Each structure stands twice: as structure tokens, then as C-alpha cells.
Amino acid sequence: MRSRAKGSMSASLPDSRKCVLCGKPQEEAYRPFCSKRCADIDLGRWFKGGYSIPARPEDEAGNDAPPPEAPSNDD
């Protein structure tokens, strides 16, 4: 296990940490990215729905409970 020296913090992290988009060394200010540009590209992907978790349609979800009854208006 590698240890970091306390006290001095440089702008870039050790070479073992690479930007998750382009592979350049990460910058502390933009972690886990190397620059504002890569951070903005990732944010744009989130906004456009580029990242999603596959899910089954609701009718295939195995919901065996009966649908809720509508409230009656027997005032």
C-alpha cells in the first residue's frame, strides 16, 4: 500500500489515477476528471440521459398486488 506524504498537496494526483473520460492524470480540483472540459462533458451526458440503469417495464416487474380501488363518492 502506497502512502501519501502529508502537508504538501500538488495540483495533480499520482499517475495511477487517470481521468475517467480521457485517461489523462486527474487534477485535484476536477476529480475524478482531468479538467473542467471533461467534467462538463460528463455532466452533459447525465443531462441528455446518456447514463441509465436498465429496468424492466412495470407490467413485467412481477407486481401481483391488485390495483388500488377508486374512492367512492357515496356522500
- The domain limits of the chain are 11-51
Cα–Cα dist 66/1, whole Å: 55
Contacts with 31 (C-beta within 8 Å, 6 or more apart), sequence order: 13
Nearest alpha-carbon partner for 43 in 20, 66, 65: 20
pLDDT value at residue 55: 85
Nearest alpha-carbon partner for 34 in 47, 50, 21: 21
pLDDT value at residue 65: 63
> Can you list the residues of the chain whose pLDDT is less than 50?
1, 3, 5-8, 13
- Please check whether residue 18 is in contact with residue 26, taking contact to mean a CB–CB distance below 8 angstroms: yes
pLDDT value at residue 22: 95
